[in-house]
Amino acid sequence: MIPARSILVLQGLLVLISFSDAFDPISATIGLGIAAGVGVKWKDQIADYTLCKFYECCRKPYLKSDVEGLKLNLTQHLFGQHIVQDVLVNAIGAHFDTIELSRKPLVMSFHGTSGTGKNYVSDFVAAALFEKGIESNFVYKFTATNTDKDLADKVKETVKKCEYSLFIFDEIEKMPMGVFDSIVSLLDHHSYLKGYDFSKAIFIFLSNSAGAEIAKKLKSLMDAGRYRDETELEDFQYIAQLGAYNVQGGLHRSKLIDSHVIDHFVPFLPLEPRHVEMCIKKEFMLRSCPNEASDEDVRKIIKDAMTYDDTKKFSNNGCKRISKKVESYCYQQKMKSQH
């Protein structure tokens, strides 16, 4: 389609174009000139045939918005979290539905005790939005142990590479107080910083805070005769906000909450033994153990791996250590069957 000689020239230009993504004024000007000259469509096509064939680019097929796939993954792999599933699918669906008109990044905070699936779910979100999932260069995971000095700079740098970036902040209750204040202004409606557009990005904050309160609330609702699956976001919303605010660490007295930039508080319900059982059975299948999980196996593993929380009704650690337990259980079985 494109004559060989122009391909050479175009490859030279491409280097300039890719430099122009770094926004240095001279090449940006040249880049603009080229874009105007050959048409933006061409730039896209050239990139498809060259650079983006080998490197992850901020475009299809590296970017996707597979909300149906997300829904499916959550239905199949996440146990006991009907509220999470609803809130998340609607929030992400809506964000992508009108993404070109978006005026504010999507900001969510996940709350719940450990092992309820917060990390697991954020990995599914990454998989639904990026071909490379959590490995994508446009997914930035920030943990309490890997605290880059200037969070705001890191966020800006990532958004400059790709406006559709996903940011995940894990265990924010362990992060120093005030750590997020520097990025609050980036998350707001009227945030405008020359050369940056944050409005298409997604920010997810994960924390164990409010987990115990959510458990207490769920217990009291269930004691009053409500089925778990009939509880609603509204039942937990207030707790999640309050808990996040009052707890020490990253969100403590944070501007992030004061300034109402968080769009969705997502409560992860504590798991009951029957949910942990489901995790065990799923792990058995994933690991292709010599035998299927018998009731006896499941009971043994539960006894070994699960402890109860203060309500005596829910698991303390959910499905957290289940995978390793099942792994070692299967290994034992395999060794036995070989002798």
The footprint of ligand NAG (CB under 6 A) covers: 66, 69-70, 73, 123-124, 127-128
Element (H, E) at 90: helix 82-97
Smallest gap from residue 229 Cβ to ligand NAG (A): 23
Smallest gap from residue 286 Cβ to ligand NAG (A): 11
Question: Two tokens at 210?
Answer: 């409010």
Smallest gap from residue 168 Cβ to ligand NAG (A): 14
Q: Which residue is nearest to ligand NAG (CB)?
A: 69
Going from the C-alpha of 224 to that of each of 212, 216, 273, the distances in angstroms are 18, 12, 20
Going from the C-alpha of 167 to that of each of 54, 138, 192, 218, the distances in angstroms are 24, 8, 19, 29
Ordered DSSP codes for 34-63: HHHHH-HHHHHHHHHHTHHHHS--SSTTTB
Compare residues 130 and 198 and give the one whose CB is closer to ligand NAG: 130
Compare residues 20 and 119 and give the one whose CB is closer to ligand NAG: 119
For residue 216, with 0-12 CB atoms within 10 Å meaning exposed, 13-18 middle and 19 or more buried, which class applies?
middle
Compare residues 124 and 236 and give the one whose CB is closer to ligand NAG: 124
Smallest gap from residue 76 Cβ to ligand NAG (A): 8
Compare residues 127 and 172 and give the one whose CB is closer to ligand NAG: 127
Compare residues 66 and 86 and give the one whose CB is closer to ligand NAG: 66
- Whether residue 210 contacts residue 242, with contact meaning beta carbons closer than 8 Å, is answered with yes
Smallest gap from residue 131 Cβ to ligand NAG (A): 9
Taking the CB of residue 196, how many other CB atoms lie within 10 A of it? Answer: 17
Compare residues 14 and 84 and give the one whose CB is closer to ligand NAG: 84
Determine the Cα–Cα distance for residues 165 and 201; give it in Å rounded to an integer.
Answer: 5
Determine the Cα–Cα distance for residues 99 and 84; give it in Å rounded to an integer.
Answer: 22
Smallest gap from residue 173 Cβ to ligand NAG (A): 25
